[in-house]
Amino acid sequence: MKIVGTGSALPTKIVTNDMLTDFLDTSDEWITTRTGVKSRHVISNEKLEDLAIEAARKALDDASLKAEDLDFIICSNVVNEYVTPQLSCIIQGGIGASCPCMDINCACAGFIHALEIAESFHKAGRVNNVLIVCAEEPTRMTDWSDRRTCVLFGDGAGAVVLAPGNNIRSIKLSASSATDKLWQYRPLHPTPYITKDEQDVPLQMKGQDVFKFAVKAASKDISRTLEDAGVNADEVDHYLLHQANVRIISAIQDYLNQPAEKFPVNITDHGNSSSSSCPILLDECRRSSRFKDGDLIAMSAFGAGFVSGAVLFEW
């Protein structure tokens, strides 16, 4: 397939590091040096579904396609206001499409998993035009009195439209059950029959373990993807990495031995917006005319589970 349109939408409320010091024992200096984040967009009066629909409409406009041209919609989402309905169904109704749709939850690696599903469905002859929307509000998952986690995240939605083409050169997905590193229990709604010990706690993360896992998994996924496509790291024009921490990005950059200019970063203004981070970065790069036709782009992301993946595509 080929990416023929991109779009994104962000909440209006911007929370700076200094604003967090009003209620947390933290500082702009700690957050900036340890993570690279200066501010993040956080949902206040908006609904995530409205951001998702706005991003989808922008991507369709950019692709010069109409909602009725779509054959499939995939939405990547970890949490929103509802358990059901699927966010993809809400997006389908919001943009006026009538095609089938599905939600996936691969946390931050959702965009790359969605690309693999779209590409595979297309190769199987099932779909031509596919809309992928990643819409996330990780700020809903964190405990806002826990300085170790809440400073990291931001909300937003990013979307792409895919049409037939030969631009995706390789995709590699991987998973490793390291479930004790990053987890959150679902809020309790016990039945009268549950007798096991269940808990109701917000996001918990072993930050240093996640950091090491992320660097290792992303370096390996990117190397496998390049090898599969017969491309060496120097031939790639842009590395768009999941925006979780600038130090993770620099460690992967060192591993690949590539110049920093090839690694666009927007975590400074967005924080980690889970699976939305890759398509938002893609949209911002495209709208700032960073890409030329034929440029090679490698993208990689890792998420809770842990699942991870990388893709190499031609612009």
Active site residues: 108, 242, 272
Query: Closest CB to ligand ACO among 11 and 36?
Result: 36
The closest of 250, 251, 239 to 313, measured between CA atoms, is 239
Residue 67 CA: distances (Å) to CA of 48, 97, 116, 130, 220: 20, 5, 22, 10, 37
241 binds ligand ACO (CB under 6 A): no
DSSP 8-state assignment for residue 272: B
Q: Identify which of 162, 151, 184, 140 has the alpha carbon closest to the alpha carbon of residue 48.
A: 140
Residue of closest CB approach to ligand ACO = 207
Instruction: Pick between residue 236 and residue 304 the one whose CB is nearest to ligand ACO.
Output: 304
Q: Does 76 contact ligand ACO by CB under 6 A?
A: no
- Contact window for ligand ACO (CB under 6 A) among 159-167, 207-215, 249-257, 287-295: 207-215
**Site for ligand ACO contains 134 (CB under 6 A):** no
By CB under 6 A, the residues from 156 to 195 that bind ligand ACO are 182
Q: d(Cα 148, Cα 22) in Å, to the nearest integer?
A: 16
With CB under 6 A, what is the number of residues at the site for ligand ACO? Answer: 24
Q: Which is nearer to ligand ACO, 274 or 300 (CB)?
A: 274
* The two three-digit tokens of residue 292, written as one number: 């030329």
Q: Binding of ligand ACO at residue 148 (CB under 6 A)?
A: yes
User: Beta-carbon neighbour count of residue 117 at 10 Å?
Assistant: 18
- Contacting residue, 3, 10, 31, 249, with ligand ACO by CB under 6 A: 31
Contacting range for ligand ACO; rule: CB under 6 A; set: 39-47, 117-125, 209-217, 251-259:
209-217
Stretch of 47-55, 121-129, 188-196, 203-211 lying at the interface with ligand ACO (CB under 6 A) = 203-211
Determine which residue in the list 303, 308, 310, 313 makes contact with ligand ACO, applying CB under 6 A: 303
211, 255, 263, 291: which one contacts ligand ACO (CB under 6 A)? 211
Angstrom distance (rounded) from CA 280 to CA 72: 20
Tell me whether strands 130-136 and 101-104 are parallel, antiparallel or unpaired.
unpaired
Out of 245, 253, 300, 308, which residue is the one contacting ligand ACO (CB under 6 A)? Answer: 245
* Alpha carbon separation from 271 to 42, 102, 126, 231, 277 (Å, rounded): 10, 27, 36, 31, 9
Among 108, 118, 130, 222, interactor with ligand ACO by CB under 6 A: 108
Residue among 209, 206, 189 nearest 198 (CA): 189
Burial class of 232 by CB neighbour count within 10 A (0 to 12, 13 to 18, 19+): exposed
Cβ proximity to ligand ACO, 161 vs 240, nearer residue:
240
Per-residue DSSP letters for 89-153?
A: HHHHHHHT--S-EEEE--GGGHHHHHHHHHHHHHHTTS-S-EEEEEEE-GGGTS-TT-TTTGGGB
144 binds ligand ACO (CB under 6 A): no
* CA–CA–CA angle 111, 114, 116 (5° rounding): 115
279 binds ligand ACO (CB under 6 A): no
| Least distance to ligand ACO, CB of residue 311, Å | 17
Closer residue to ligand ACO (CB): 129 or 308: 308
C-alpha–C-alpha distance, residues 218 and 224, integer Å:
10
Residue type, 190: P
CA atoms in the 13 A half-sphere facing the CB of 195: 1
Asked if 244 interacts with ligand ACO (CB under 6 A), we say yes
CB of 173 to ligand ACO, least distance (A): 16
Please give the residue ranges that form the binding site for ligand ACO (CB under 6 A).
26, 30-31, 34-35, 107-108, 147-148, 151-152, 182, 205, 207-208, 210-211, 214, 244-245, 272, 274, 303-304
